[in-house]
Structure 1
Amino acid sequence: MAVIVTVEIPGGTREQYEQSTAQVTGAEWWPPKGFIAHAAGPDGSGGWRVVDFWDSEDDFLAFAKKAQPLFERIGMPTIMPKVQEATNIVLR
Protein backbone atom coordinates (compact mmCIF):
# COMPACT_ATOMS: atom_id res chain seq x y z
CA MET A 1 0.00 0.00 0.00
CA ALA A 2 1.46 3.36 -1.02
CA VAL A 3 1.85 6.00 1.69
CA ILE A 4 2.15 9.75 2.03
CA VAL A 5 4.80 10.87 4.51
CA THR A 6 4.59 14.44 5.83
CA VAL A 7 7.34 16.00 7.92
CA GLU A 8 6.82 19.38 9.58
CA ILE A 9 10.08 21.05 10.67
CA PRO A 10 9.37 24.05 12.92
CA GLY A 11 12.04 26.68 12.33
CA GLY A 12 13.49 24.66 9.45
CA THR A 13 15.23 26.68 6.76
CA ARG A 14 15.83 26.39 3.05
CA GLU A 15 19.58 26.13 3.75
CA GLN A 16 19.05 23.13 6.08
CA TYR A 17 16.75 21.54 3.53
CA GLU A 18 19.24 22.00 0.69
CA GLN A 19 22.09 20.60 2.82
CA SER A 20 20.06 17.55 3.84
CA THR A 21 18.89 16.94 0.27
CA ALA A 22 22.46 17.10 -1.03
CA GLN A 23 23.56 14.60 1.63
CA VAL A 24 20.74 12.16 0.91
CA THR A 25 20.81 12.30 -2.87
CA GLY A 26 24.61 11.99 -2.79
CA ALA A 27 24.49 8.78 -0.75
CA GLU A 28 25.55 5.54 -2.45
CA TRP A 29 22.13 4.02 -1.70
CA TRP A 30 20.16 6.80 -3.45
CA PRO A 31 17.48 6.34 -4.76
CA PRO A 32 16.13 4.08 -2.03
CA LYS A 33 13.79 1.16 -2.65
CA GLY A 34 10.14 2.23 -2.75
CA PHE A 35 10.73 5.96 -3.27
CA ILE A 36 8.12 7.51 -5.58
CA ALA A 37 8.24 11.31 -5.28
CA HIS A 38 9.25 14.21 -3.05
CA ALA A 39 8.18 17.84 -2.58
CA ALA A 40 9.19 20.45 -0.02
CA GLY A 41 8.82 24.13 0.77
CA PRO A 42 8.13 26.73 3.43
CA ASP A 43 5.16 25.87 5.64
CA GLY A 44 3.86 29.44 5.92
CA SER A 45 4.61 29.76 9.64
CA GLY A 46 8.40 30.03 9.70
CA GLY A 47 9.25 26.37 9.19
CA TRP A 48 9.63 23.81 6.46
CA ARG A 49 7.35 21.04 5.17
CA VAL A 50 8.41 17.86 3.36
CA VAL A 51 5.94 15.55 1.62
CA ASP A 52 7.11 12.22 0.23
CA PHE A 53 5.35 9.35 -1.50
CA TRP A 54 6.53 5.76 -0.93
CA ASP A 55 5.46 2.31 -2.05
CA SER A 56 5.06 1.30 1.60
CA GLU A 57 5.65 2.45 5.16
CA ASP A 58 8.34 -0.23 5.51
CA ASP A 59 10.23 1.26 2.55
CA PHE A 60 10.05 4.70 4.14
CA LEU A 61 11.24 3.39 7.52
CA ALA A 62 14.22 1.65 5.87
CA PHE A 63 15.12 4.96 4.19
CA ALA A 64 14.72 6.89 7.45
CA LYS A 65 17.12 4.52 9.21
CA LYS A 66 19.78 5.14 6.53
CA ALA A 67 19.17 8.90 6.33
CA GLN A 68 19.00 9.72 10.05
CA PRO A 69 22.80 9.86 10.55
CA LEU A 70 23.07 12.24 7.59
CA PHE A 71 20.40 14.51 9.08
CA GLU A 72 22.08 14.44 12.50
CA ARG A 73 25.42 15.38 10.93
CA ILE A 74 24.01 18.70 9.69
CA GLY A 75 22.07 19.41 12.90
CA MET A 76 18.55 18.60 11.75
CA PRO A 77 16.25 17.80 14.67
CA THR A 78 14.65 14.36 14.97
CA ILE A 79 11.06 14.76 13.79
CA MET A 80 8.27 12.20 13.89
CA PRO A 81 6.66 12.10 10.45
CA LYS A 82 2.98 11.65 9.78
CA VAL A 83 2.36 8.55 7.64
CA GLN A 84 -0.99 7.95 5.98
CA GLU A 85 -2.34 5.65 3.30
CA ALA A 86 -2.37 7.07 -0.20
CA THR A 87 -5.54 6.37 -2.15
CA ASN A 88 -4.00 7.61 -5.37
CA ILE A 89 -0.75 9.13 -6.63
CA VAL A 90 -0.72 10.85 -10.00
CA LEU A 91 2.55 11.83 -11.65
CA ARG A 92 2.85 13.99 -14.69
Structure 2
Amino acid sequence: MAVIVTVEIPGGTREVYERTTERITGADWWPAKGFLAHAAGPDGTGGWRVIDFWESEADFMAFVEKATPIFQEEGTPQIMPRVEEAVNVIVK
Protein backbone atom coordinates (compact mmCIF):
# COMPACT_ATOMS: atom_id res chain seq x y z
CA MET A 1 0.00 0.00 0.00
CA ALA A 2 1.41 3.39 -0.99
CA VAL A 3 1.80 6.00 1.73
CA ILE A 4 1.97 9.77 2.05
CA VAL A 5 4.68 10.93 4.46
CA THR A 6 4.42 14.47 5.82
CA VAL A 7 7.28 15.98 7.82
CA GLU A 8 6.89 19.37 9.52
CA ILE A 9 10.22 20.92 10.57
CA PRO A 10 9.72 23.91 12.89
CA GLY A 11 12.44 26.46 12.17
CA GLY A 12 13.63 24.46 9.17
CA THR A 13 15.35 26.47 6.45
CA ARG A 14 15.76 26.22 2.72
CA GLU A 15 19.54 26.18 3.10
CA VAL A 16 19.60 23.15 5.40
CA TYR A 17 16.98 21.41 3.24
CA GLU A 18 19.00 21.96 0.06
CA ARG A 19 22.27 20.74 1.62
CA THR A 20 20.55 17.66 3.04
CA THR A 21 18.76 16.88 -0.22
CA GLU A 22 21.98 17.23 -2.22
CA ARG A 23 23.72 14.73 0.06
CA ILE A 24 20.82 12.25 -0.01
CA THR A 25 20.37 12.34 -3.78
CA GLY A 26 24.14 11.97 -4.18
CA ALA A 27 24.31 8.87 -1.98
CA ASP A 28 25.17 5.56 -3.63
CA TRP A 29 21.89 4.06 -2.32
CA TRP A 30 19.72 6.75 -3.95
CA PRO A 31 17.08 6.44 -5.30
CA ALA A 32 15.87 4.43 -2.32
CA LYS A 33 13.69 1.37 -2.89
CA GLY A 34 10.01 2.33 -2.97
CA PHE A 35 10.50 6.08 -3.48
CA LEU A 36 7.80 7.58 -5.70
CA ALA A 37 7.79 11.39 -5.39
CA HIS A 38 8.92 14.30 -3.22
CA ALA A 39 7.93 17.93 -2.67
CA ALA A 40 9.09 20.49 -0.12
CA GLY A 41 8.73 24.15 0.74
CA PRO A 42 8.12 26.71 3.45
CA ASP A 43 5.20 25.86 5.73
CA GLY A 44 3.96 29.44 6.15
CA THR A 45 4.88 29.58 9.85
CA GLY A 46 8.66 29.97 9.61
CA GLY A 47 9.43 26.28 9.18
CA TRP A 48 9.75 23.75 6.39
CA ARG A 49 7.39 21.03 5.14
CA VAL A 50 8.34 17.86 3.25
CA ILE A 51 5.81 15.59 1.58
CA ASP A 52 6.92 12.25 0.13
CA PHE A 53 5.14 9.38 -1.51
CA TRP A 54 6.47 5.85 -0.95
CA GLU A 55 5.35 2.42 -2.09
CA SER A 56 5.10 1.33 1.56
CA GLU A 57 5.81 2.48 5.09
CA ALA A 58 8.50 -0.20 5.33
CA ASP A 59 10.30 1.31 2.32
CA PHE A 60 10.13 4.75 3.93
CA MET A 61 11.50 3.43 7.23
CA ALA A 62 14.40 1.72 5.40
CA PHE A 63 15.18 5.09 3.77
CA VAL A 64 15.09 6.83 7.17
CA GLU A 65 17.61 4.33 8.53
CA LYS A 66 20.03 5.13 5.70
CA ALA A 67 19.42 8.90 5.74
CA THR A 68 19.49 9.47 9.52
CA PRO A 69 23.27 10.09 9.68
CA ILE A 70 22.89 12.79 7.01
CA PHE A 71 19.97 14.39 8.85
CA GLN A 72 21.98 14.40 12.08
CA GLU A 73 25.12 15.84 10.46
CA GLU A 74 23.09 18.65 8.87
CA GLY A 75 21.38 19.51 12.16
CA THR A 76 17.88 18.46 11.20
CA PRO A 77 15.93 17.85 14.41
CA GLN A 78 14.53 14.38 14.99
CA ILE A 79 10.92 14.67 13.83
CA MET A 80 8.11 12.13 13.95
CA PRO A 81 6.61 12.08 10.43
CA ARG A 82 2.92 11.59 9.78
CA VAL A 83 2.36 8.49 7.61
CA GLU A 84 -1.02 7.99 5.98
CA GLU A 85 -2.43 5.61 3.41
CA ALA A 86 -2.44 6.93 -0.14
CA VAL A 87 -5.55 5.94 -2.04
CA ASN A 88 -3.94 6.99 -5.31
CA VAL A 89 -0.56 8.37 -6.41
CA ILE A 90 -0.16 9.80 -9.90
CA VAL A 91 3.29 10.86 -11.09
CA LYS A 92 4.15 12.29 -14.46
- Relative to the length of structure 1, the TM-score reads 0.98
Q: Quote the Cα distance in structure 2 between the aligned partners of 1:70 and 1:91.
A: 27
Structure 1: stretches of 5+ with no match in the other structure: none
**Count of matched residue positions in the alignment of Structure 1 and Structure 2:** 92
Q: Quote the Cα distance in structure 2 between the aligned partners of 1:78 and 1:56.
A: 21
Runs of 4+ in structure 1 off by over 2 angstroms are none
Report the RMSD for the aligned CA atoms in angstroms: 0.5
1:67-78 aligned within 5 A = 67-78=67-78
> What's the CA shift string for 1:51-92, capped at 9, x where partnerless?
000000000000000000011011111111000000011123
- Relative to the length of structure 2, the TM-score reads 0.98
Describe the SS at the equivalent of 1:39.
Answer: strand
Residue 46 of structure 2 aligns to which amino acid in structure 1? G
Aligned to 1:25: 25
> What's the CA shift string for 1:17-62, capped at 9, x where partnerless?
0011011001100000000000000000000000000000000000
Aligned to 1:8: 8
Residue 40 of structure 1 aligns to which amino acid in structure 2? A
Structure 2: stretches of 5+ with no match in the other structure: none
Identical aligned pairs, as a percentage?
67
